[in-house]
Amino acid sequence: MKKFTITAAGASILAAAAIGLAGGAAAAGGADATVNGLQSEGYSVSFNKTPSANLTQCAITNVTKDSASVANPTAYVDIACPDGC
C-alpha cells in the first residue's frame, strides 16, 4: 500500500509540474487576457492562424517573444479555438 501511495503522489507531482509548464504561455481568463497582457508590455501580437472564435473562448498554446527590434517587438502566439464557433 505504501508503494502505491508514493507512486500516486509522485505521479501527482509530475502532472502538476507538466500543467504548470504548459500553463506558462497562457494566462487565466482566456486568450484575450494573454493578448491584452502582451500588448500592455508593448508587443505587437501576431497569431499563427486566424482565431475561429472569440478570444475569450480560445486558449494560447505557445508564445514566442521576438524583442530583437526594440522599436516594434512582436509576440508570435499559437492559438487553439473550439470548432464550430
Q: What pLDDT shows up at residue 22?
A: 39
Cell numbers 486558449 correspond to: 59
Confidence of residue 4 (pLDDT cuts 50, 70, 90): very low
pTM: 0.60
**Per-residue pLDDT tens digits for 13-70:** 433 333 333 334 444 568 999 999 999 999 999 998 888 888 889 999 999 998 777 7
Q: What pLDDT shows up at residue 24?
A: 40
Distances (CA, A) of 68 to 36, 57, 74, 76: 21, 31, 9, 13
Where is pLDDT greater, at 82 or 6? 82
Domain boundaries, the chain: 26-80
